[in-house]
Amino acid sequence: MRYLSTRGHADRKQFCEILLEGLAPDGGLYLPESYPQIGTEALTRLRDVWQSQGYAALAFEVLSLYIDDIPRDDLKALCLKTYTPEVFGTQAIVPLKPLQAAGHAQPDLYLEALSNGPTLAFKDMAMQLLGNLFEYELGRRGESLNILGATSGDTGSAAEYAMRGKAGVRVFMTSPNGRMSPFQQAQMFSLLDDNIHNIAIEGVFDDCQDLVKAVSNDLAFKRKYKIGTVNSINWARLLAQVVYYFAGYFQATQNNQEKVSFTVPSGNFGNVCAGHVARMMGLPIDRLVVATNENDVLDEFFKTGVYRVRGTNDTHETSSPSMDISKASNFERFVFDLLERDASKTQAIFGEGLSRLGYFDLSGDPRFVRAATVYGFDSGRSTHADRLKTIQQVFAHYGVVIDTHTADGVKVAKEHRNPQVPMVVLETALPIKFAATIVEALGRQPERPPQFDGIESLPKRVQVMKCDVDLIKAYIRQHCD
């Protein structure tokens, strides 16, 4: 399997080459040259693998269709090491929970639990694999990597928990000092591993991002200190997420003639893009419903054909903060497919077009309607008031407490239900991570998994720093030499 750039660069690369890279050299995103097709027989075999051997074996089967430059035994060992009940909390790894009201013959919806990993958000599903892949590939090459990132919560902690103790990898993670929830701070700052560095910047999240950009733009420094990232455009992260669409499908159906729809709480379009890939492979997915919060860039596109990047003043701070985005960094992958893989058109609208105009408009393009008709996309948005109401209703009807992001999903899923087709909502975080809103909705604290008892009082290691590029470079130098 070889990979190409959405903007038409002539290079074709192998999986391990793009594993440690971010964007393609022309600024595009990597995609496989074609999607491997899963016919009826292969789907039956995969269902059998899932049922008899479980998630890790299923992950190996799916990943091996896309990765041919890691020996199969090694890839299998990496999957088995990653997806264990010890790390992900249950034997099923991604158990499906029916939401069924008393007296109803069928569940109204299903929740697919993706958030029982170490940081209680779905990003662990991909990041844990990435940690093991990085360690493997860096070891093979005899290289090392320093991951520099900026986080306001979920991504940074998922990256740190995935990379802790991994040979050849160091993490330097900046976050805005004092602005994460106490739980999130405790999660990150209580990691005492030598290769994990938490840097609390005196400023806001944008300051952290600007610092990371400034360091990465110093090409000499970047090369010398082998600075890399783990952001959501990484193809390996997306690929790891394809697997749980298969696992969700097998749990919601009895046989391969049935279809399933998924609703996905979305920000950067990484999660639902993995659903698109699964559907392109032939997994019988009916609809892929994109749920946004008040930051509705994506809902606007699917409704109107206009994609309009938001400015800083236009980006809302919401109670589902991991979906607070101004642009959706993975969206280019889907648009490339929608435009029948027309790289020059993709280059024109995402390259100069977007940076000059701040938007593009496909409403007049005959291919736009295919987003819904051929690719199965629907969308909806949710507000703080909807979120509170949904959390209350789900608790009242089913006795289940859901987090704020999952609530956005449930709200939108209800608007798109078809009684003939099971609807699976991806549960992207556990409520304890966003306790303040749960208390606002239900008047009580969410349940805390026992392994997190008392984490706020654990010893912490964090370096508070002024927002200054030279200071952070000096810090990196000091800890690499």
Ligand X SMILES: *Cc1c(COP(=O)(O)O)cnc(C)c1O
Catalytically active residues are 123
Residue with tokens 């993709």: 346
Which residues lie near ligand X (CB under 6 A)?
A: 121, 123, 154, 232, 265-271, 322-323, 405, 428-429
Cα–Cα distance, 341 to 77 (Å, whole number): 34
DSSP state of 233: T
- In angstroms, what is the minimal distance from the CB of 415 to ligand X? 18
- In angstroms, what is the minimal distance from the CB of 91 to ligand X? 23
Closest CA to 240 of 94, 380, 29: 94
Residue with tokens 């200054």: 468
Of residues 246 and 434, the one with the C-beta less far from ligand X: 434
Query: Collapsing DSSP states into helix, strand and coil, what is residue 456?
Result: helix
Cα–Cα distance, 104 to 284 (Å, whole number): 26
- In angstroms, what is the minimal distance from the CB of 473 to ligand X? 29
- In angstroms, what is the minimal distance from the CB of 330 to ligand X? 7
Tally Cβ neighbours within 10 Å of residue 417.
Answer: 16
Closest CA to 186 of 170, 201, 175: 175
Cα–Cα distance, 186 to 456 (Å, whole number): 5
Of residues 269 and 302, the one with the C-beta less far from ligand X: 269
Cα–Cα distance, 283 to 383 (Å, whole number): 32
Q: Would the CA dihedral through 200, 201, 202, 206 be positive or negative?
A: negative
DSSP H or E stretch at residue 397: helix 384-398
Cα–Cα distance, 224 to 221 (Å, whole number): 5
Size of the chain in residues: 481
DSSP H or E stretch at residue 377: strand 377-381
285-292 and 260-265 as β-strands: parallel, antiparallel, unpaired? parallel
Cα 358 off chain centre by? 24
Of residues 251 and 293, the one with the C-beta less far from ligand X: 293
Of residues 274 and 338, the one with the C-beta less far from ligand X: 274
State the distance between the two ends of the chain, measured CA to CA, in whole angstroms. Answer: 38
Of residues 265 and 376, the one with the C-beta less far from ligand X: 265
- In angstroms, what is the minimal distance from the CB of 68 to ligand X? 26
Q: Which amino acid is at 105?
A: A
Write phi, then psi, for 38 (nearest 5 degrees): -105, 105
Of residues 94 and 138, the one with the C-beta less far from ligand X: 94
366 is written with which tokens?
């005959």
Write phi, then psi, for 112 (nearest 5 degrees): -100, 115
Of residues 64 and 383, the one with the C-beta less far from ligand X: 383
Q: Which amino acid is at 305?
A: G
- In angstroms, what is the minimal distance from the CB of 188 to ligand X? 14
- In angstroms, what is the minimal distance from the CB of 243 to ligand X? 15
Tally Cβ neighbours within 10 Å of residue 52.
Answer: 8
- In angstroms, what is the minimal distance from the CB of 122 to ligand X? 6
Of residues 146 and 151, the one with the C-beta less far from ligand X: 151
